[in-house]
């Protein structure tokens, strides 16, 4: 889809609109689900292939890359997580690589994937202007909230598992003021702080990737100057993409480490 075919407002709106099915609360963003599952499968099959063919001799370049990522996450977990749980390191690896792969779609020229979807839609008899494809899952708030909600559920689960229901309630009511007549005030503060953790996770990832995607769209509207400007912003974005995946991962490990504390 060329930017000249639509007004600037229509062009931006079209790129930021999801391929949706359903109405209201039950609306499903098909493109977000499809691309996130596709990136997840790439992660699973590529890492599994390395695990099956790994050898102690001369490793391939891809095996070296995978081993570097695994070692990096392992060292990060060891220095951050202070409990004992064999699930945390694989969970951190999955979160980091999955979010990284979803973020990397942002480097694909913004017109390419929507234009391809439009051509497929036109071949199937659909109006190209009504074919939507928002390819970067992490620019969808539904996706980032779903990821953060999964982390939040694990936080609650391990808090109750390690401390018991009574210990978890005591943690929410006796801090920061260990005075019975202020327990209600402590509970309000602690619940707000607890809910703020997944909310900040979701909004930070969404905000940074959404802003980056929007800038790519604005650059695409410049026409002939698109490629050099796209390259410059893409080079800067190479820092943002892994950084946001790492921040989400490290905060997940920190929150789960806090959930494993007994006091």
Active site residues: 200, 204, 208
Angle between helices 226-259 and 88-104 in degrees, nearest 10: 160
- DSSP state letters, 70-126: HHHHHHHHHHH--S--TTHHHHHHHHHHHHHHHHHGGGS-TTHHHHHHHHHHHHTT-
CA–CA dist 1, 15 (Å, integer)? 10
Q: How far apart are CA 171 and CA 89, in angstroms?
A: 26
| Nearest CA-CA partner of 103 in 239, 200, 228 | 239
Written as one string, the DSSP assignment of 14-79 is HHT---EESSGGG-EEHHHHHHHHHHHHHHHHHHHHHHHH--SSS--HHHHHHHHHHHHHHHHHHH
């Amino acid at each position: 889809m060329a930017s000249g075919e639509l007004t600037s407002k229509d062009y931006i709106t079209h790129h930021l609109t999801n391929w949706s099915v359903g109405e209201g609360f039950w609306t499903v963003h098909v493109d977000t689900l499809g691309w996130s599952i596709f990136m997840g499968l790439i992660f699973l099959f590529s890492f599994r292939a390395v695990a099956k063919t790994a050898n102690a001799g001369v490793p391939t370049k891809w095996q070296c890359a995978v081993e570097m990522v695994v070692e990096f996450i392992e060292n990060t977990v060891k220095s951050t997580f202070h409990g004992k749980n064999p699930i945390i390191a694989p969970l951190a690896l999955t979160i980091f690589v999955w979010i990284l792969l979803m973020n990397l779609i942002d480097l694909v020229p913004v017109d390419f994937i929507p234009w391809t979807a439009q051509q497929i839609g036109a071949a199937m008899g659909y109006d190209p202007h009504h074919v939507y494809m928002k390819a970067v899952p992490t620019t969808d708030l539904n996706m980032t909230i779903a990821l953060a909600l999964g982390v939040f559920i694990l936080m609650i689960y391990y808090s109750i598992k390690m401390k018991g229901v009574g210990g978890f309630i005591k943690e929410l009511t006796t801090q920061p003021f260990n005075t019975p007549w202020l327990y209600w005030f402590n509970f309000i503060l602690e619940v707000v702080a607890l809910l703020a953790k997944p909310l900040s996770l979701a909004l930070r990832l969404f905000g940074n990737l959404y802003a980056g995607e929007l800038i790519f769209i604005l650059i695409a509207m410049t026409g002939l100057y698109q490629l050099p400007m796209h390259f410059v912003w893409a080079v800067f974005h190479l820092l943002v993409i892994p950084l946001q995946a790492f921040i989400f991962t490290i905060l997940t490990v920190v929150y789960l480490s806090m959930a494993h504390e007994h006091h």
